[in-house]
Amino acid sequence: MDNQVSLIIVNMLKSQAINELRECNDYTVRFGLFLEEKQILELVNKRFEALKETERIEFSQGILKKLIYEFCDSPYISNDNYEEILWELIDGFYYFKNESLDLLSDDELLSIMKKYFDTVCEGSLDYLMSTSLEDLCRSTRYREKIED
């Protein structure tokens, strides 16, 4: 829906997201993690791109803040790989929301992603995305079919 109001709303949501990420820095700095202004802008754009690719839509504050708060204390994230990991996690998060047919809430999915990332996957995003989460989503869908 490409029109003037959509653009106004998207710009509004973007500036909201940018402010939120700036605020997140106040918390994450204690873990040695800090996003530069340029990184913040790119992450916010990345979020909208990921939404578009996965054909999802967000109206209120997005998932970025929750994602950062959940993962910032991971032993596998340092300031060197912070932005890169967040990029992958954003992509993965929306992808697996679709794969799980929205049967998992945001909090549930984030919590599971963090748990697997820190334990079984030992910080490997490839392993997280291609094995652990795929298995989880398959069993979530299967459980839904049984209940039908």
Give yes or no for residue 7 binding another protein (CB under 8 A). no
Rounded Cα gap, residues 81 and 13, in angstroms: 26
Q: Does residue 45 interact with another protein by CB under 8 A?
A: no
Separation CA 20–CA 13 (nearest Å): 11
Among 106, 118, 124, 127, binds another protein (CB under 8 A): 106
Residue 56 near residue 94, CB atoms below 8 Å: yes
Q: Compute the least distance from the CB of residue 99 to another protein, in Å.
A: 12
Among 25, 41, 51, 124, binds another protein (CB under 8 A): 51
At closest approach, how far in Å is the CB of 1 from another protein?
Answer: 6
Question: What is the pattern of x (binds another protein, CB under 8 A) and - over residues 69-98?
Answer: -------------------------x--xx
The answer for 123, left when phi > 0, alpha when psi is -120 to 50, beta otherwise, is left
DSSP 29: G
Residues 78, 84, 88, 90: is their CA dihedral positive or negative?
positive
Q: Which residues sit at the interface with another protein, rule CB under 8 A?
A: 1, 3-5, 8-9, 51, 55-63, 66, 94, 97-98, 102, 105-107
